[in-house]
Every structure is written in C-alpha cells, then in structure tokens.
Chains A and B, each alone.
Chain A
Amino acid sequence: MAKTPTPLSKEFLKGLWNENPILRMLLGLCPTLAVTNSAINGLSMGLATTFALLCSSILISLLRKIIPSQVRIAGYIVIIATFVTVADKFLAAYLPEISKELGPYVPLIVVNCIILGRQEAFSSKNGVGRSIIDALGMGSGFILVLLVLGSIRELFGSATIFNLQILGDWFNPWMIMILPPGAFLTLGLLIGLGNWLNERKVKI
C-alpha cells in the first residue's frame, strides 16, 4: 500500500520548528556558536549554508539512482565540499568584509552535519522537487535560529542589531555575550526554551 505523500507545506515547515536542525536535532552547532556574535554574521552564515545545502540536495537527488551505496558518503562529501568552496570564494571575492568576519567557519560548512544529514535522510531517497522544499525548510530553520541568536548576542553585547544602535547609552554592554561563554549560555537557554514551548504545544 502506498504511503500518502506528505503535503509540501508540511515538508517545508518541519524544518522551521518540529525538526529544527539546531534546537531539536542539535546539528550544526559549531558555526551556530562561532559566528552569531552579530545579526549580520548569523544571517550571512545561514545564507551560505542554505546555498550549499540547496545545491547539494538538488544534485544528489538528481544522481540518487546512479551513485552506488558503498561510495555514497564519499560522493556526497565531494559534492558538498565543491559547493562550499564556491560559496566561500564568492564571499571572498565579492563580499570581503563578511568573508573576513566569518573567516574559516565558511569552509567548515563542509562538515556541518545538517547538510550531510539531509542528503542521507532525504535527498538520496526523494525527487528533486521535494528535496528542494526540504532543503529550503531546513535552511530557513537554520537561518532563523542564527538570526535570533545573533541578534540577542549583538543586542546585549554591543547594544546594536545589524549595527543600528538599539539600546541607549544607559546600557552597559555585557561583553560576555560576544565571547564564547555568552554563545554557549544563550544557546543553552534557547534550547531549553524550545523544549519547554514544545512541551506546552503537545499538552494543548
């Protein structure tokens, strides 16, 4: 008996909340902590990752019947690394300021478990159309968390969001927020908040 295919809207939305790659699946934590010291950095990293994820998902979905199972991981890795290199060199050539801010964390998108995870779990088993939706959903969920985390850290660490002064001079910035401990603490609180909200949703 054929399973009723999940509606496309659900396929997209799952990445935003239920299966949010960072808060629920705990994937891609390295860049999440490293480049969320400001909103613009978080957003740029999210976009770069989504680009690599989208392109990889499309290509791997197209090739899914051709790549033999034994070499699939090696194949996926080469494809992912290729698109990440494209994204990294793009930033270095056309947006050098952002490239400097994100630094070596852009090439580290190669080992971002989100991308490899989605190829294994989804793109290798689904058509191109669905894979695109899945990638966009996961990517959006990722960008969302990075934006929120980046904005919170920038707000309390530098009193700005996207470099616009939000809090006045009365506020003495908490330097810790733009340093590693602040990243860990904020993410921990966000994960806890996500879990708590999810519990309440289930009860309702």
Chain B
Amino acid sequence: MNKTTKMVIVLTVITGLSGAILSSWDSVTKPKIEYHKLQALKAAISDVLPSYDYYEEKDIDGKTIYIGKLNDSTQPTGIAFKVDGSGFQGNLSIMVGVDPSFTSITGIKVLEQIETPGLGTKIVEDPSNKTNPFWFPEQFVGVIFSPQINVVKNSIPQNSNEIQAISGATISSKAVVRILNEDIVTIKELYQSVN
C-alpha cells in the first residue's frame, strides 16, 4: 500500500474512532453537566430573590433575566439577573435580585471572583470565620440604588443607599458597588421598556 494512502487511512481511522468515543461519552455526560449548571443557577436565584414558586427566564435584547413568580398571582416577586465587571484581580460575576418596581435590591450573590485570597475574598467569606464583622452580601438587602449606591469606610451606613466596605477588601468592595451602579440601571431601562 502506498505510503501516503496508509498515512491518510490511519489518521482518518484514529480521528473517526476519537469522534465515535467522544460523541457517545458526550451523550452520557452532557445531561449531568447541564443538570449541575441548572442547580447552581437555581441556587443563585433563590439566594437573591424573596420567595417564589417558580421563576421565568426571559431574554430582553440579549440580556437574560429571571422573574420570580407565585403560583396564584401574576405579580412577580422579584427580578434576578447577572452583572459582570472588573474586580481587583480579575472578573467579578454577580447575581443581583431587585424588587419588581426596580427600586431596591433584594439580594446579591458573588458567583465568580479571583480576588486576593484572605483579603479581597472577604467579600464572599462567612463571618463565622473569625475576622469578618459582617457578611458582605447581606448588607445589600433593602439597599436603594438610586441615584447610586455609596460606599462608606469604617462607619455604619446612615442612608438607605449606603453600604460599608470590608476593611482589607476595600477595592473589591468598591468594585462590587461600581458594577452594580453601572449595570442595574441598564437592566432597569431594558425591563421597563418592554413592561
């Protein structure tokens, strides 16, 4: 058999085998992987919205939002959506929940971050873990975001649109607030333009 022909045949067979193994493995693992993703999404949404019976996923102009609804009512309990931006070290991805009239925050959850371990990561750390005075995301519940959220340092927030930065994680705290200030307004406008 001609050398080149042999090369082509062998490579084709190997690639074909690879394709066969992978596509069957894919059909086994894909459903499970999707399931895990869905579970994580559900957990994030339920963390930031007040109680709902189910949520409805909607796409407005490329942005996905999740509307929490009750079985016996057409009124949503809250709207959840993801926002992204630059933190101190890298990307910050946050799930935000707001009330249906888009006036106050019902909760936030930091989904992804690569902040400095021990310092910036305090924004996601559990306060029962020694050095944090409070759990950062909890502060955002009930916070009014217009005209914008302000950050205060080393003092208790006095106004309903203020939150306190965690000492040692000031920049990460400010980054979270900056991202919220920038993106919530955008989603608000999109939502209210179709409702």
Contact = CB atoms under 8 A, between A and B. Distances in A.
Complex contact flag A–B (Cβ < 8 Å): yes
Contacts, number: 56
A75 B36 contact: no
A42 B118 CA distance: 21
Interface stretch (B4-12, B42-50, B72-80): B4-12
Is chain B's interface secondary structure helix, strand, loop, or mixed overall? helix
B32 to A, nearest CB: 4
B7 A86 contact: no
Given A68-B7, A94-B32, A179-B117, A89 B26 contact: yes
B137 to A, nearest CB: 20
Contacts of B3: 68
A167 interface: no
14 contacts: A68-B7, A71-B11, A82-B17, A82-B18, A89-B26, A90-B29, A92-B32, A92-B33, A92-B36, A93-B32, A94-B32, A96-B33, A96-B36, A175-B118
Contact of B18 (A78, A90, A93): A78
Interface in B1-60: 3, 6-7, 10-11, 14-15, 17-18, 21-22, 25-26, 28-30, 32-33, 36
A89 B33 contact: yes
Given A71-B11, A82-B18, A92-B36, 20 more contacts: A67-B10, A68-B6, A68-B7, A70-B7, A71-B7, A78-B14, A78-B18, A79-B18, A82-B17, A82-B21, A85-B22, A86-B22, A86-B25, A89-B25, A89-B26, A93-B29, A93-B30, A93-B32, A93-B33, A175-B117
A67 B26 CA distance: 27
Interface residues of A, number: 24
The 4 A-B pairs with the shortest beta carbon distances in the complex, nearest first, are: A93-B32, A93-B29, A89-B29, A82-B18
Interface residues of B, number: 21
Given A75-B10, A78-B18, A178 B32 contact: no
Contacts of A67: 10, 14
Interface string A37-74: 00000000000000000000000000100111011001
A132 B69 CA distance: 57
Is chain A's interface secondary structure helix, strand, loop, or mixed overall? helix
Contacts of A66: 10
A130 B74 CA distance: 69
Interface string B87-118: 00000000000000000000000000000011
Contacts of B11: 71, 74-75, 78
Interface of B: 3, 6-7, 10-11, 14-15, 17-18, 21-22, 25-26, 28-30, 32-33, 36, 117-118
A153 to B, nearest CB: 12
A85 B29 CA distance: 11
B111 to A, nearest CB: 12
A173 B129 CA distance: 14
Interface of A: 63, 66-68, 70-71, 74-75, 78-79, 81-82, 85-86, 89-90, 92-94, 96, 173, 175, 178-179
Contacts of A92: 29, 32-33, 36
A86 B17 CA distance: 13
Contacts of B29: 89-90, 92-93
Contacts of A78: 11, 14-15, 18
B38 to A, nearest CB: 12
Contacts of A71: 7, 10-11
Contacts of B26: 89
B157 to A, nearest CB: 29
Contacts of B28: 93
A179 B18 CA distance: 37
